[in-house]
């Protein structure tokens, strides 16, 4: 499935799960009252800051290990085009497109189990973005991805993904701009939930997630991802029609 269709399927699924209003609801007849449902395209910028660390033990050894993430994106361009309305989902609207450019800086570190760094500072590479909602309550959620190729150094960086990224999803909103704090998540996309999230990828993501959930580099008494505190990310976005 190509990224465009993945985004479409995710947004429609999220809109239904989030209770944006069902297709049989009277609110589904109010599509012409919501400007968000009538724009042909949306353009703007997005920014994000995610700084968080995790630490724990290496079972069977006296050593501790720590992973820290420092990822900051600013002024990344977002361009979206509205998809043709689906007659089976009256009232729903979906935009798909991409994000790129701006500035995306990465300064990740792995200590205790060898030393390693993942560093990058430059424009975000082109990646996907999407927006979806329902015209009845005139609410939407926006999902934007940032990606950059990091430069690894140190023995602890060997063999780990160097394409580093963050994907954030906004909480439900009626305005085309906003700034808020959302929880970090191991797996975040537009189907995550109505409160929004910021998901991390690349670098030492698997080790970071394991340390957060289990306090160790291997599974033991571990929390579920839903019960784990992955810290918070600050996000902001601003879109305009046209």
Residue extents of the structural domains in the chain:
3-241
C-alpha closest to that of 213 among 225, 202, 205: 225
The answer on pLDDT for 236 being more than 90 is yes
In the chain the first and final C-alpha atoms are separated, in Å, by: 28
User: Which helix (H) or strand (E) is 235 found in, with range?
Assistant: strand 232-241
Q: How many helices (H) and strands (E) does the chain have?
A: 2, 10
140, containing H or E segment: strand 139-149
Q: Quick: pLDDT tens for 166-221.
A: 999 999 999 999 999 999 998 886 556 788 999 999 999 999 999 999 999 887 78
Return d(Cα 141, Cα 196) in angstroms, integer: 8
The predicted model scores a pTM of 0.85
pLDDT, tens only, 33-82 = 688 888 999 999 999 999 999 999 988 888 899 999 999 999 999 999 99
Mean pLDDT of 152-177: 95
Q: pLDDT tens across 112-132, in order? A: 878 999 999 999 999 999 999
């Amino acid at each position: 499935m190509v990224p465009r269709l993945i985004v479409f399927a995710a947004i429609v699924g999220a809109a239904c799960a989030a209770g944006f209003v069902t297709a049989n609801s009277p609110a589904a007849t109010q599509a012409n009252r919501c400007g968000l449902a009538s724009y042909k395209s949306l353009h703007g910028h997005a920014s994000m800051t995610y700084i968080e660390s995790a630490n724990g033990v290496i079972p069977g050894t006296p050593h501790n290990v720590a992973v820290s993430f420092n990822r900051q994106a600013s002024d990344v361009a977002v361009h979206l085009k509205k998809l043709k309305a689906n007659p089976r989902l009256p009232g729903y609207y979906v935009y798909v497109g991409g994000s790129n450019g701006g500035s995306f800086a990465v300064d990740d570190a792995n200590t205790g189990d060898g030393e390693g760094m993942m560093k990058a500072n430059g424009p975000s590479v082109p990646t996907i973005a999407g927006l979806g909602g329902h015209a009845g309550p005139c609410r939407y959620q926006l999902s934007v991805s940032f990606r950059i190729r990091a430069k690894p150094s140190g023995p602890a960086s060997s063999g780990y993904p160097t394409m580093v990224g963050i994907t954030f999803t906004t909480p439900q909103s009626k305005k085309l701009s906003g700034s808020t704090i959302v929880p970090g998540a191991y797996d975040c996309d537009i189907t995550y939930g109505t409160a929004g999230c910021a998901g991390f990828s690349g670098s030492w993501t698997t080790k970071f997630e394991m340390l957060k959930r289990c306090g160790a580099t291997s599974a033991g008494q571990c929390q579920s991802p839903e019960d784990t505190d992955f810290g918070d990310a600050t996000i902001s976005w601003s879109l305009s029609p046209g």
